[in-house]
Chains A and B, each alone.
Chain A
Amino acid sequence: MTLRDKLFRWRDPYDLAGTEDLFAAAMAENAALQAAGCPDYRRILALRGLEDLTGVSPAALPPIPTLYFKRHVLLSVPERRLLIRATSSGTSGSMSHIGFDGATLRRGGHMVVRMARRHQLLSPRPCHYLILGYQPRRENQTAFSKTGFGFTFFAPALSRTYALVWREGGYRLDLEGLERKLLACARGGAPVRTIGFPSYTYLLLRRLEEQGVRLELPRGSLVTMGGGWKQFEGQQVEKAELYRLAETVLGIPEEGCVEFFGAVEHPILYTTCRAHHFHIPVYSRVVIRDPDTLEPLPPGRPGLVNLLTPMADSMPILSVMTDDLGVLHPGGTCPCGIAGPWLEILGRAGVRDIVTCAAGASEYLRGGERE
């Protein structure tokens, strides 16, 4: 068994202290694999003087910016070995080219099961799923519709109801359908799980509140939310409001609101604890880097978020530099009982609120192309 497989089969998904050495060794193992399979990655390692990878620490591996994956196809295995291809939800228009092989997906499977079990999302008790997204069709292959559908297997599904249904050649928001389903569920005994982007969930709950809907869904019901990074920026106020709405409208207490995140360039499942914090699981580490030097910062200081995982064989995504600013809060600062550190995303790096006149002119000079 490879060290990577060993890491992804670790029993306790939050045993960071116990996996420190294993993580570093699995990263070095993965780096050697990528260097052998991907000439461009080998070149980037050489830029850092990393021809020899023995004893290299994870933070010393060169972080590859997400931007780089949008401009280059980096593969370490022959294309035919890719079982799935994912594209990042193109908020900026350009897509990353990411693909995963069987071994990578198998590790992902182990991770998902362990995380779901740890957060008590795996249940033998059947439930109703309300999916605040698109009804799957063969033509619709975005990452969310796949993952959203995937989540409906954590507990056996009695039913799956979609907010956006395909009718007469187009998707339509079927609010009445959702409401009817919720009312029916409230009378029944099986729990309900909603799945959707935080923003969709918030909007739906607000609509329901305005219409005077006040339900007591069966115990064990959950509001689960997931989406890209961008869904989590600076929305603390709205989140508090969302928890309030879940309680008022659906009768689901705050602990029943669970959030996930992950990214195609870093397919690790982060799940919120009771205190709504994203703790770092054994499968990954987070390095916050000083924007001036790109060197690692001590915990508690804001900087660029660099995500590390040895999960993927197919591509050198072992150290990815996002364009997000974040803070890694030190371990022992969360009341939930998980000892390890947790990550807070502060927002995207950029010229916040200042539109510079020089930047405006350059839009033209680049022929209207915008990043």
Chain B
Amino acid sequence: MILAHGNLYEDRELVPLREGLAEACVRTMAGPPLKSGVVVEACDELARRVERGDYDRLLAPFLTGLAMDPGQFQAAVGLFRRESLLYKLETELGPELVPLRRPEGGPIRRVRYPLGTLLHIAAGNVDGLPAYSVAEGLLAGNVNILKLPSMDQGASILLLKELTDLEPRLRDYVYVFDVPSTDLESLTVFARAADAVVVWGGDEAVRAARRLADPDTQVISWGHKLSFAYAVPDPPDRDLEALARHVCLTRQLLCSSCQGIFVDTTDMGAVEAVGERFFAALQAENRRHPPADLGLRARAALQVYSMELEETGPRALRSGGVSVVIAPDSRLELSPLAGNCWVKPLPRERIPAALGGKRGYLQTAGLLCPPEERAALGDLLARAGVVRVTEPGEMSRTVPGEAHDGTYPLRAYSRVVELV
């Protein structure tokens, strides 16, 4: 399906619709500007209706396969609410820009303008994310062309259609195309129409987006990230329990999900002790959660089991679908997922060296330490490239207005213009 000018079209209309796209985008941007208030109200109404269950029948088929728990879903819907969006606008775009001063003549006004037209190439791992990416583009006043991820099961296009029905002024600002990543012809047409390509996904997706974009087209990339926990050698039980809960809730599938624990020590005995305590917490917590997907669990179990058989392999504690692998190296790596973490030594003085060269891939670090240590450890991790330091249970929190991978998206989606 295709969404254009507030109407749904069959995919066979692709060619005529994409022909006129660039011109239509220019026309819209030349017209009256889109006020952020209009976007906020429309999104708020949409979120209310989703919360009230108005679209349950429409969304149910898409939500069953959702890789999030109800709490995460509520938080995601909350991002579209008025309070969230107004707060986001205030944090990211501020009240007013400071004027430019010059030695002679009066000050020069500074005003934020939208970038123009954004092509969003969305990732498929979080449902609702494609729609949210478009909402961010709208908040900054841009025209948005969304290329759906191949795994999108239709929820995004339905939500955005509802949005343009609720607020007809948004109709010419939202286009959704369901073309495969292999349809380079269409993607090139979209990229030519755009002033920036916003890409969500792995290295391959980012590379592909860079190839699509002309040199004068910006590429704004939200790449894949890895997250971990950092613990003092004797972390409190409740921190280990909170981290275990986080691991079981997210099944380690998110960018912000903890893959393992680095312990501030060189003593393997201390690493083993943390590993054993965390394993106990993880086992207890896991019993309180519905099991992860069978295939995901099987794959993880096989990985850990194969590791156990290796002659020089690390020590693995495994039981009841969760595991902790205690390894002597300090490499940041992906875990087998689904409730299987590593625990490794990383004394604080070696943090910069161990994480160096991976800065672009770092996201969240959950801290397991006494309160008085937080500031110093947080600063060390931040300097190594981590963009979010949280409490152990809060690694995948969703808080309205938070920065995204260390930047403010609305700023990336707008220009600062100086006006005499």
Judge whether B253 and A358 touch: CB under 8 Å: yes
Task: Tell me the interface secondary structure of chain B in the complex.
Answer: loop
- Segment at the A interface, from B29-37, B91-99, B270-278, B289-297: B289-297
Q: A291-B294, A325-B295 are in contact. Are A358 and B334 (CB under 8 A)?
A: yes
> In the complex, A354 Cα to B226 Cα: how many Å?
16
Q: Does A180 contact B (CB under 8 A)?
A: no
Whole-angstrom CA separation of A366 from B201 in the bound complex: 17
B111 contacts the other chain (Cβ, under 8 Å)?
A: no
Residues of B within 8 A of A349 (CB): 295, 298-299, 302
Interface positions, chain B 304-322, Cβ under 8 Å from A, are 305-306, 308-309, 311, 319-321
Q: Using Cβ atoms and an 8 Å threshold, which residues of chain B touch A356?
A: 125, 252-254, 337
Give the CA-CA distance A359 to B296 in the complex, in Å. 12
Whether the pair A357, B311 counts as a contact (CB closer than 8 A) is no
Say if the beta carbon of A212 comes within 8 Å of chain B.
Answer: no
When A355-B125, A365-B361 are in contact, do A350 and B296 touch as well, CB less than 8 Å? Answer: yes
Interface string of A334-360 (1 = CB under 8 A from B): 000000000000011111111111111
Residue of B nearest to A321 (CB): B302
Q: How far is the CB of A166 from chain B (nearest CB, A)?
A: 31
- Tell me, yes or no, whether A68 is within 8 Å of chain B by CB: yes
| Segment among A16-24, A40-48, A250-258, A261-269 that sits at the interface with chain B | A40-48
Interface contact A67-B306, CB-CB below 8 Å: yes
Instruction: With CB as the reference atom, state the residue of chain A lying closest to B339.
Output: A292
Task: State the CA gap A366–B305 with chains docked (Å).
Answer: 20
Whether A47 contacts B224 by the Cβ 8 Å rule is no
CB distance from B384 to the nearest CB of A (A): 15
Q: A359-B337, A361-B361 are in contact. Are A323 and B299 (CB under 8 A)?
A: yes
Q: Is the CB of B202 within 8 A of A360?
A: yes
Contact, CB under 8 Å: B125 / A294:
no
Q: Is the CB of A361 within 8 A of B225?
A: yes
CA of A347 to CA of B123, assembled, Å: 24
A40 CA / B151 CA spacing, docked (Å): 43
- Using A65-B306, A293-B319, A355-B125 as known contacts, say yes or no to A363 and B202 having CB atoms under 8 A apart: yes
Task: Name A364's closest neighbour in chain B (CB-CB).
Answer: B203
Assess A352 versus B124: contact at CB under 8 Å? Given A294-B301, A358-B224, A365-B333.
no
**A361 engages B255 (CB within 8 Å):** yes
Nearest CB to that of B300 among chain A residues? Answer: A291
How near does chain B come to A367, taking the closest CB pair, in angstroms? 11
Instruction: Assess whether B332 is interfacial by the CB under 8 Å rule.
Output: yes
Closest CB of chain B to A287's CB: distance in Å? 14
Asked if B67 is an interface residue, CB under 8 A from chain A, the answer is yes
Q: Report B196-254 residues with CB < 8 Å from chain A CB.
A: 201-203, 223-227, 252-254
Closest to A39 in B: B311
Contact of A361 among B123, B224, B294, B320 (CB under 8 A): B224
Contact B297 A291 (CB under 8 A): yes
With A323-B299, A362-B334 known as contacts, the answer to whether A292 contacts B291 (CB < 8 A) is yes
Among A294, A348, A349, residue most surrounded by chain B Cβ atoms (within 10 Å): A349
Say how far A44's CB is from chain B's closest CB, in angstroms.
Answer: 6
Say if the beta carbon of B257 comes within 8 Å of chain A.
yes
Contact digits for B117-145, partner A, Cβ 8 Å, 1 yes 0 no: 00000011110000000000000000000
Q: How far is the CB of B291 from chain A (nearest CB, A)?
A: 7
A241 CB to nearest chain B CB (Å) = 24
Q: In the bound complex, what is the Cα–Cα distance between A229 and B125 (angstroms)?
A: 28
Type the 1/0 row for A180-224, where 1 means its CB is closer than 8 Å to any CB of B: 000000000000000000000000000000000000000000000
B309 touches A44 (CB 8 A): yes
Q: Do residues B202 and A361 form an inter-chain contact, with CB atoms below 8 A?
A: yes
**B358 interface contact, C-beta 8 A:** yes
Q: Is the CB of A67 within 8 A of B334?
A: no
Q: How far is the CB of A244 from chain B (nearest CB, A)?
A: 28
Bound-state Cα–Cα, A309 to B26, Å: 69
Q: In the bound complex, do residue B302 and residue A357 qualify as a contact, i.e. CB atoms below 8 Å apart?
A: no
List 17 additional A-B contacts (Cβ < 8 Å) besides A304-B301, A352-B293.
A43-B311, A62-B309, A65-B306, A67-B302, A291-B298, A325-B295, A347-B295, A350-B295, A352-B295, A358-B252, A358-B257, A359-B337, A361-B202, A361-B224, A361-B225, A365-B361, A366-B333
Binding site for B on A (CB under 8 A): 40, 43-44, 47, 62, 64-65, 67-68, 291-294, 302-304, 321, 323, 325, 347-366
16 contacts between A and B (CB under 8 A): A65-B306, A291-B300, A292-B320, A304-B302, A351-B253, A351-B299, A352-B296, A354-B253, A356-B254, A356-B337, A358-B253, A358-B257, A358-B334, A360-B203, A365-B226, A365-B331
Among all A-B residue pairs, the 3 with the closest Cβ atoms: A360-B224, A360-B202, A362-B334
